[in-house]
Amino acid sequence: MSATLRTPADLAGAGLIGVAEAAALAPVAERYAVAVSPAMAALIDPADPADPIARQFVPRPAELDRRPEELEDPIGDAAHSPVPGIVHRYPDRALLTLLYVCPVYCRFCFRRERVGPGADAVLPPDRIAAALDYIAGQPAIWEVILTGGDPLALSPRRIADVMARLAAMPHVRIVRFHTRVPVVTPEAVTPELVAALGASGKTTYVGLHCNHPRELTAAAREACGRLLDAGLALVSQTVLLRGVNDDAETLATLMRAFVELRIRPYYLHHGDLAPGTAHLRVPLAEGQALMRALRGRVSGLCQPTYVLDIPGGHGKVPVGPGYIADGAVTDPWGASHAYEG
């Protein structure tokens, strides 16, 4: 497993699935991109049919079961894209997408209809220039969020070029990178990559996507340490997933691990309505119950905000449990207490 596994045959050759299963998965791989990095493949226990790492990266036949409510663009990016590569939904921040490829392909990805190898995998130079010109012409944009695809899959040189352009825009103060790289390909977090993420006059945040404590291997922790020791700020992003982290103990362990690593727990995402992902989505009421259990179990430092991206491009909202109703407040353990105020 020295190379990324990209086909069902690769997965079978690595012993992660059976040969017969590989044949059954061929239609899924034709529809949605497959990539399992060596770091993630090494974590999968093929003897465990419920392995939480495999559930995230190994394709399943259920991905071809599309429900009526599922959408190709579940959070409405297209409706807020004034130029290719830009999504400008909120006044003070914009998404900048330079590529649509990733070192791994998550089976629950809300951009699964767009990401993967192909002719439009990387934004061409003229469109990158147009996207940056758009940001330069919007003085209300305070934060630029590089997403994708995975922006840290770009070369340090290309990242440094974009950061130099952003450094020349005085209204842009914060640059954020959303990435899985430190976890799934930690060896890619080189000194050159770390240096490329900084720019004069800008504060750089790295939003680390990680869903299960086992993903935080020694190599991943060291990669995060290299980013933190360079002065970059790290926040976490986690997707609530059936069979991966939909229990209070797993979430508590993961959030504590983030805090111990100096990574601020930021968002716990409710699963988006991406096609073929129903088998991984957790009902909203269950997610709220898990957040209530987390509140009574771990430090306030370990509490992410449970959020839902409203389908159709209407924005992200917190959907955690309520604690006050009818003149009473419920404590973290479920007991109700009278309160007037």
Q: Is the pTM of this model over 0.75?
A: yes
pLDDT value at residue 340: 84
**306: β partners:** 268
Mark whether 102 is an active-site residue. yes
- The predicted-structure confidence for 28-81, as pLDDT tens digits, reads as follows 999 999 999 999 999 999 999 999 999 999 999 999 999 999 999 999 999 999
Active-site residue, from 32, 51, 60, 106:
106
pLDDT surpassing 60 at residue 189: yes
pLDDT band, very low/low/confident/very high, at 119 (cuts 50, 70, 90): low
Mark whether 202 is an active-site residue. no
Mark whether 90 is an active-site residue. yes
CA distance 70 to 68: 6
Locate 167 and state its tokens: 């450094």
Active-site residue, from 109, 210, 224, 302:
109
Active-site residue, from 272, 281, 292, 306:
272
Give the CA distances from residue 234 to residues 97, 117, 206, 248, 318, in Å, rounded to whole numbers and listed in that order.
20, 28, 5, 23, 21
Mark whether 89 is an active-site residue. yes
**How large a percentage of the chain has pLDDT more than 70?**
99
Active-site residue, from 55, 60, 107, 111:
111
pLDDT value at residue 117: 87
Give the CA distances from residue 252 to residues 26, 30, 249, 257, 265, in Å, rounded to whole numbers and listed in that order.
36, 37, 5, 8, 11
CA 150 to chain centre: 9
CA distance 39 to 283: 30
CA distance 220 to 226: 10
Mark whether 272 is an active-site residue. yes
Active-site residue, from 173, 242, 316, 323:
316
Helix, strand, or coil (residue 220): helix
147 contact partners, CB below 8 Å, separation of at least 6: 95, 96, 97, 178
Which of 177, 143, 173 minimizes the C-alpha distance to 160? 177
- The predicted-structure confidence for 94-111, as pLDDT tens digits, reads as follows 999 999 999 999 999 999
Phi, psi of 328 (to 5 degrees): -140, 150
Active-site residue, from 10, 32, 73, 102:
102
Q: Which residue is associated with the tokens 């997610």?
A: 287
Mark whether 316 is an active-site residue. yes
What average pLDDT does the structure give for the chain? 96
Mark whether 109 is an active-site residue. yes
Helix, strand, or coil (residue 75): coil
Mark whether 210 is an active-site residue. no
Mark whether 205 is an active-site residue. no
Active-site residue, from 6, 31, 90, 242:
90
Q: Is-contact 71 310, C-beta < 8 A?
A: no
- The predicted-structure confidence for 214-259, as pLDDT tens digits, reads as follows 999 999 999 999 999 999 999 999 999 999 999 999 999 999 999 9
